[in-house]
Amino acid sequence: MGETRGGKRWNFGANEVVELSCSQNVRYFLNLLADNLDRSDSRPVIPLGHGDPSPFPSYRTDPSAVEAVCDALRSAQFNHYSTTSGLPIARKAVAEYLSRGLTYQICPNDVHLTAGCHHAIDVLMSTLAVPGANILLPRPSYPMYDSRAAFSQLEIRRYDLLPENGWEVDLDAVEALADEKTAAILVINPCNPCGNVFSRQHLQKIAETASKLGVLVIADEVYKDITFGETPFVSMAEFADIVPVMLLGSISKRWCVPGWRFGWMATLDPHNIMKDSGLVHSLANVLNMSTDPTTFIQGAIPDILEKTKEEFFSSVLETLRECSESCYEEIKKIPCITCPYKPEASMFTMVKLELSVLEDIKDDLEFCCKLAKEESLIILPGRSVGLKNWLRITFAVEPELLKDGLSRLNKFAQRHSKKKQQP
């Protein structure tokens, strides 16, 4: 730190922790790939690198949600500052929404509202980052957890999700990694980036393992309503009697409005373990030092959660199901990638890159950079989610655009294949 110019020393400079942390998130790689695009290519860029379908007509949010926001704004009742953890009417609405389908009711006082799930991750990582603590994160994972844990100087220990077992948690590895300084384990279900849904039996085993180790379960359930396969979604909230659960979610994906920045944390703690340890109090103090979701969105939330038409959700799910099927089938035709598990949830699938059949490509990052340059197609390299020489593909776009994107991917793979197809 510090730089000398013209004989004078300035006492500031780059923050190495920030630089390292920033290199572990999706935006870093999306910006890198965008820099590799060929600006002379007249074809539209196809974005299969991140899960934001909101620009596409098939995913446009329900008009009733838009009306709820407009009504909240016009009322002039939500121009004030928010209270800590959010407005009571919004906390109550979220608690009722999360309680649907559960065997018990979540208390509004246990719900803490955030400016999207990213904000919830920020707050939670800051709260857990006591000196010497570590956290168990999955591999592959949603990389914002890695970035914020690294920024908070919380030691990261990675356990594997097993593709040969439907991307289930390697529980033996979890037990081997944990020690008396392990604060929490992250469980993302339905899974971003793998597209799987954990069974009730597997979730119970995770809860029992976490209880045995004395660690908090962070349950990221952002995609809880984005399922279209045979495995039914079960919330980790059902196992809060076994282990304390910090439940994270948002409206970003189900309502296709990530720009509205509204999420939550719910402290599910029937035995008061989090409360008695002081964690809940520390969480509230971090929230006191933090920002809030905009009050007019909070004011709209009761109507958004209650009045959005079921036809909207059904239409989006049907489009995603169709696109996931198409993605899975088209991937089978591409010589250099394999998909070990048919996606049944979220907006993504993970595919393994077979470098041995390619020439002049050494790894997943080079593959994606050249793909961007040659085909104006953005796909995320697996290293961005913790798994080198894999790819994360999103299918949450218009069906015809997905078809075009996978066609470009196939052409690229054929062009760089050691065994090029004969014309």
HEC secondary structure over 173-221: HHHHHCCCCEEEEEEECCCCCCCCCCCHHHHHHHHHHHHHHCCEEEEEC
**Phi then psi for 18, rounded to 5 degrees?**
-65, -45
- Run of H or E residues at 184: strand 182-188
Q: Indicate if the pLDDT at residue 42 is higher than 80.
A: yes
Question: Which amino acid appears at position 335 of this protein?
Answer: P
Beta bridge partners of 393: 349
Q: For residue 352, how many other CB atoms are within 10 A of its CB?
A: 17
Give CA–CA dist 56/321, Å, rounded.
16
Whether residue 297 contacts residue 260, with contact meaning beta carbons closer than 8 Å, is answered with: yes
Q: Please give the structure tokens belonging to residue 373.
A: 């340059």
- 1 pLDDT tier (thresholds 50, 70, 90): low
**Phi then psi for 264, rounded to 5 degrees?**
-160, 160
Give the pairing type, strands 337-338 and 348-353. antiparallel
Cis peptide before 140 (omega within 30 of 0): yes
Using N-to-C axis directions, what is the helix angle for 399-415 and 310-331, rounded to 10°?
20
pLDDT at 44: 96
What is the average per-residue pLDDT within 213-224?
Answer: 98
- Identify which has the larger pLDDT, 423 or 44: 44
Q: Indicate if the pLDDT at residue 420 is higher than 80.
A: no
What is the average per-residue pLDDT within 192-221?
Answer: 98
Whether residue 224 contacts residue 73, with contact meaning beta carbons closer than 8 Å, is answered with: no
pLDDT at 20: 85
Question: Which amino acid appears at position 414 of this protein?
Answer: Q
Q: What is the DSSP letter of 340?
A: S
Give CA–CA dist 180/52, Å, rounded.
39
Cis peptide before 302 (omega within 30 of 0): no
- 300 pLDDT tier (thresholds 50, 70, 90): very high
What is the average per-residue pLDDT within 272-287?
Answer: 97
**DSSP string of 346-361?**
TTEEEEEE-GGGBSS-
Give CA–CA dist 48/350, Å, rounded.
12
Q: pLDDT averaged over the chain?
A: 96
Q: What is the DSSP letter of 22?
A: H
Q: Indicate if the pLDDT at residue 106 is higher than 80.
A: yes
Q: Please give the structure tokens belonging to residue 128.
A: 């857990």
- 2 pLDDT tier (thresholds 50, 70, 90): low
Q: What is the DSSP letter of 121?
A: H
Among 19, 12, 18, CA closest to 4: 12
Q: Please give the structure tokens belonging to residue 167.
A: 């991307």
Q: What is the pLDDT of residues 58-74, one digit of tens each?
A: 999 999 999 999 999 99
pLDDT at 3: 65
pLDDT at 163: 97
Q: For residue 64, how many other CB atoms are within 10 A of its CB?
A: 14
With a CB cutoff of 8 Å and minimum separation 6, the contacts of 254 are 225, 226, 313, 316
Whether residue 380 contacts residue 29, with contact meaning beta carbons closer than 8 Å, is answered with: yes
What is the average per-residue pLDDT within 91-111?
Answer: 97
Give CA–CA dist 317/225, Å, rounded.
9
Q: Indicate if the pLDDT at residue 24 is higher than 90.
A: no
Task: Rounding to the nearest 10 degrees, give the CA dihedral for residues 243, 251, 20, 157.
Answer: 20
pLDDT at 419: 74
- Run of H or E residues at 113: strand 111-114
Is residue 164 classed exposed, middle or buried when 0-12, 13-18 and 19+ CB atoms within 10 A define those classes?
Answer: exposed
pLDDT at 22: 84
What is the average per-residue pLDDT within 172-198?
Answer: 98
